[in-house]
Amino acid sequence: MNWLRKLSAMLLCLMLCLGLFSGCGSDVYIAKLALSGAAGTFDPQFAENQNSILVASNVFEGLLVEDPDGGLHPGVAEGYTVSSDGRTYTFQLREDACWSDGSAVTADDFVFAFRRLFGPGSVSPYAENLLSVQNAEAILAGEMQPEALGVRAADDHTLVLTLEKADSGITTVLAQWYAAPCKESFFTEQKGRYGLEVKSTLYNGPYVISLYDAGKEIRLRQNPSYHSEQPAELYGINITLGSTDTLAAFTEGDSFYTQVPRESVDSLRDAVITEYADTTYALVVNTSRSLLGNESVRLAICGAIDREGIAGVLPEEQSTTTDLVPETASERTLDYRDTAGHRTALTLTEDARTLFREGLAAEGEQKLPFTELLVPDTQTDRQAAGIIQGCWQNTLGASINVMPLAVDELWQRVYAGDYDMALLPLSDSTAMGLLEDFASDTDRYCTGWQSEEYDALLDQAAAETGEQAVRTLAQAEQLLLRSGVVLPLYTSMSYYAVSSEVQGAWIDPGEGVIYIKYITKS
């Protein structure tokens, strides 16, 4: 059993305790959950706040639904067919799929929702996940209108989705919260308030928002208009927002789930603790800066780093790694790391000092000009950066300035391309999602790196299925690491506690979403 399935199985084997529920009858149970922070919009096409995503994932449902093992099963769609060239998907919608007002969910509701992702007005942050849809890239570039998107309603219960090229990963995308339908007439009536209030939101998932007290509380209750082969079992959940101590809420029985600091894990003896490496801290190089465009210089910089030295400053919850894609990432419903295996450490054809000098000479230089390494302003990252700085000085004779920054400021500079090198925490729920961020046509990390071979591997993987897609992505990952553009250094572990008396709580470790529909009390 792979790692992700072990995690899912563990969570699905938990049983819900009496103290975590309040009842309004012998067969009615309401779970409790404490969350830090507030919630933003519940509009699924634009929900970015993690609390909002959690709610949206439980009150909306797309064409397909992902299960705890990463498989897909019918949601609003009762089935679908794929054309022989893999470019056209035809979905047959359930005739009993309804909105919370009792009206039918139709194919037009999906057409409107998908077009909303691409504007007009504002573009959804999730539009890039549907770039394989016909005309999507041209629409984002402003060359076409959203109405040109490759999605149409053949009739009320038949939706046709046309892709630019085959993309077997599109079905996983269609199971996400942002691919939920949106009823155009209701949306228009809200006059810009859609998703901001209980009365201004229409639901088609297993739950509805029965109460929303901004910044304080959200209550979800079963949607009586929801029909599914797998109906909701939990009656409802009361979510407390703005909790300043979710761990205390957990230990006091006011929350069935919480993220746990490493130092508190041992004290929660009655809870089920799951841990996983969900973030890779990697050195990312901006190849458009000075001599960093020279591959020999980059490889020497990466090869000079002493991993054992870094290991010596890492706390217990972190460890060195040679993998870029973290353990929690999946791909085509498979555990990526289990299927792809692990990457070997970067090996140089000659020693780092010689390679560095050759790279400088090829550029007509004798030394590296002023170069800055941006790092998160935490004790561990500063210490790791100090080790790296010493390696470059001692091995390459290169003086690098280390600049610790608050994480938000660090990302702002990276997204603007205002950096030479940066130590970045990288994570994504899928391998493709993380690797695509280094493709030639993306500016997410502004690395300036261009590789036709790398882009071709990503395109090839997008058209493949199952293990073959994973193997192709593994080739892309290895190629990226051999380029010296990014170097994985260490991983960060996250710890989550779920009451040992919870059954059916499914937590998506990639997105941090909790699906509550299967929670029951034994």
Residue bearing tokens 């959940």: 237
Query: Residue 432 has what pLDDT?
Result: 92
The secondary structure element, H or E, covering residue 477 is helix 466-482
Q: Is the pLDDT of residue 192 over 90?
A: yes
HSE-CB at 69 with a 13 A cutoff on CA atoms is 6
CB 136 within 8 Å of CB 173: no
pLDDT-based confidence at 26, cuts 50/70/90? very low
Percent residues over pLDDT 70 in the chain: 93
Query: Residue 77 has what pLDDT?
Result: 98
Q: Is the pLDDT of residue 297 over 60?
A: yes
pLDDT-based confidence at 350, cuts 50/70/90? confident
What average pLDDT does the chain have? 90
Q: Is the pLDDT of residue 102 over 50?
A: yes
Query: Residue 15 has what pLDDT?
Result: 33
Q: Is the pLDDT of residue 333 over 80?
A: no
* Alpha-carbon span 207 to 144, nearest angstrom: 36
Q: What tens digit of pLDDT does each residue of 448-496 get?
A: 999 999 999 999 988 787 788 899 999 999 999 999 999 999 999 888 8
Query: Residue 509 has what pLDDT?
Result: 65
CB 36 within 8 Å of CB 261: no
Q: What tens digit of pLDDT does each residue of 27-66 get?
A: 678 889 999 999 999 999 999 998 999 999 999 999 999 8
pTM of the model: 0.74
Other Cβ atoms within 10 Å of 26 Cβ, number: 6
Q: What does residue 516 show for φ and ψ, rounded to 5 degrees? A: -100, -5
Q: What tens digit of pLDDT does each residue of 208-237 get?
A: 999 999 989 999 999 999 999 888 989 999
Q: Is the pLDDT of residue 104 over 50?
A: yes
Burial string for 276-313 (b: 16+ CB within 10 Å, else e) reads bbbbbbbbbbbbebbbbbbbbbbbbbbbbbebebbeeb
**List of E strands, 19-115:** 21-23, 29-34, 64-66, 72-74, 77-82, 88-93
Average the pLDDT over each of 91-105, 242-256, 392-406, 489-503 and give the range with the smallest value. Answer: 489-503
CB 423 within 8 Å of CB 380: no
Domains of the chain: 3-258+500-515 (3.40.190.10), 277-494 (3.10.105.10)
Most distant CA pair in the chain, distance: 81
CB 106 within 8 Å of CB 156: yes
CB 22 within 8 Å of CB 30: yes
* Alpha-carbon span 269 to 339, nearest angstrom: 33
* Arithmetic mean of pLDDT, 130-155: 94
Q: Which of 355, 326, 360, 325 is nearest to 438 (CA)?
A: 325
Query: Residue 12 has what pLDDT?
Result: 35
Q: Is the pLDDT of residue 13 over 90?
A: no
Q: Is the pLDDT of residue 121 over 90?
A: no
* Arithmetic mean of pLDDT, 162-179: 91
pLDDT-based confidence at 111, cuts 50/70/90? very high
Percent residues over pLDDT 90 in the chain: 69
Q: What tens digit of pLDDT does each residue of 147-160 get?
A: 999 999 999 999 99
pLDDT-based confidence at 522, cuts 50/70/90? low
Query: Residue 510 has what pLDDT?
Result: 63
Q: Is the pLDDT of residue 255 over 50?
A: yes
Helix residue ranges, H only, 335-405: 336-340, 352-362, 379-391
pLDDT-based confidence at 324, cuts 50/70/90? very high
Query: Residue 27 has what pLDDT?
Result: 63
Query: Residue 5 has what pLDDT?
Result: 37
